[in-house]
Chains A and B, each alone.
Chain A
Amino acid sequence: SAVISQKPSRDICQRGTSLTIQCQVDSQVTMMFWYRQQPGQSLTLIATANQGSEATYESGFVIDKFPISRPNLTFSTLTVSNMSPEDSSIYLCSVEDEPSSVADTQYFGPGTRLTVL
């Protein structure tokens, strides 16, 4: 399985500021995903990041708030813009190699724990 790292591992930010989270994979992967996990909740998919194309956002998430970059097959960034306390969550990136297979396992990074004051 791929080894995935995220930076930063945690951060405390002031409202109104922005934070960019980096996700690095040790091998080339087809699909990268960004999830949000609010306190005590399950995971919610924010967007799917494909290399060389615009990210695909899920309902309730917009590019202006969560811009995503995917410059190559091993790296992606998620920016949380104009933060409010409601953005306090764990943000996780994940990767998958066979996007059209029910059998392909999605592997996750260690997460970024964000607190907005």
Chain B
Amino acid sequence: AQKITQTQPGMFVQEKEAVTLDCTYDTSDQSYGLFWYKQPSSGEMIFLIYQGSYDEQNATEGRYSLNFQKARKSANLVISASQLGDSAMYFCAMKTGAGSYQLTFGKGTKLSVIP
């Protein structure tokens, strides 16, 4: 079975500092995709970054990077130079063939950026 675990219900970060949001996953598939989404209080789900299981380099998208440690089955999201607009819920998700290519979501982490 596919499972995503996000152990941090809430995180605080000072504006302009970097923050790491944890995500571990469980799957027996060799081929899988890992995704991070941001959900502001408005409710929309915004795609941030993708990492494939066979990608040799960590994914980066602007201020977002993914610290992918395959042996440890972790895919942590790093946000650099935090901004007030980064305050939101962040969800880690995974797709595998064994999971019928459906997205399996973690419970999310609420990030609050402090001025």
Using a CB–CB distance below 8 Å, which chain A residues touch chain B?
1, 37, 41-43, 45, 48, 90, 92, 94, 99-111, 113
Among A42, A101, A105, A110, point to the contact of B47 (Cβ < 8 A): A105
**Cβ contact within 8 Å between A102 and B31:** yes
Chain B interface extent, by class: 20 to 34
CB <8 Å contact, B31 and A106: no
**A-B residue pair count with CB separations less than 8 angstroms:** 58
Tell me the dominant secondary structure on chain A's binding face. loop
Query: B43 — which chain A residues lie within 8 A by C-beta?
Result: 37, 90, 92, 110-111, 113
* A11 → B minimal CB distance (Å): 13
A106 CA to B95 CA in the complex, in Å? 10
What are 6 A-B residue pairs whose CB atoms fall within 8 Å in the complex?
A: A41-B107, A92-B45, A102-B96, A103-B52, A110-B44, A113-B43
Given the known inter-chain contacts A42-B107, A42-B108, A45-B102, please indicate yes or no for A102 contacting B95, CB distance below 8 A.
Answer: yes
